[in-house]
Structure 1
Amino acid sequence: MSIDPRVALQSLVAAFEEHLAAAATRRGEKDPAVEGAYLAIADAFEVYEEVLYDAYGEVTPLEIYDDEEADEDLLDEDEEVLRGSAAGSPSAFGTEEETEEFDGDPEPYGRQAGSDR
């Protein structure tokens, strides 16, 4: 039994609308209605992505992250930055020489031409 991609898309749009309604009437930071609507979007999206691929061999540019994956990704990035700076290699922000180079106006908010200040 295969679901038509249009039906799956309609379900996804309906999940977004439910989430909007729940967010608009939210009662506190951890409102179960908002959390349920959030999960419904994720579920509807996964179905849509699957039937879209089955029907047309296409995917969307979107990806669902759960909180654990997002936390792990952030930790991995932090560890890389720390390892890079501890090993003496350039950090994610570049070397000191790279960050000091600036080709623009040295005082972008300073004195303007023709100004008495």
Structure 2
Amino acid sequence: MSIDPRIALQSLMAALEEHLTAASRRRGDKDPLVESAYLAVADAFEVYEEVLYDAYGEVTPLEIYEDDDEDFDGDFEDDGEDASENASGLQPGK
């Protein structure tokens, strides 16, 4: 991929802003705008991670939360970590 990492970062930041806007205007549990914005964040993050690695051999300490359960309600179990770390769907890398 030949995208400048700064451009990819700007796209990720824009996706996060859109997600925040959609979340603040949520209309129910399965709001399609929130779900769409969530997926856009995940896609933008994957692009950023890939171009960051390609350009500098570096990665972030985050990973995309992979949920096999289609009925995920957005709640994370308390496993002793700060809830704000898990609330976004992005989790610290392991």
Give the TM-score normalised by structure 2.
Answer: 0.71
Number of equivalenced pairs: 70
**Alpha-carbon deviation of 1:47?**
0.1
SS in 2 for 1:63: strand
5+ residue gaps in structure 2?
A: 73-94
- The higher radius of gyration belongs to 1
Greater percentage in strand: 2
Measured against aligned partners, the alpha-carbon deviations of 1:45-93 in whole angstroms (never above 9, x if no partner) come to: 0000000000000000000022118x9xxxxxxxxxxxxxxxxxxxxxx
**Partner Cα separation in structure 1 for residue 34 and residue 27 of structure 2:** 9
Paired residue for 1:21? 21
**Alpha-carbon deviation of 1:34?**
0.1
Matches within 5 A, 1:76-91: none
Matches within 5 A, 1:65-80: 65-68=65-68
Matches within 5 A, 1:1-117: 2-68=2-68
Measured against aligned partners, the alpha-carbon deviations of 1:88-111 in whole angstroms (never above 9, x if no partner) come to: xxxxxxxxxxxxxxxxxxxxxxxx
**Partner Cα separation in structure 2 for residue 67 and residue 34 of structure 1:** 16
SS in 2 for 1:66: coil
Greater percentage in helix: 1
**Partner Cα separation in structure 1 for residue 66 and residue 20 of structure 2:** 20
**Partner Cα separation in structure 1 for residue 49 and residue 9 of structure 2:** 9
Runs of 4+ in 1 over 6 A off after TM superposition: none
Paired residue for 2:83? none
**Alpha-carbon deviation of 1:30?**
0.4
Greater RCO (Cα-Cα under 8 Å, separation 6 or more): 2
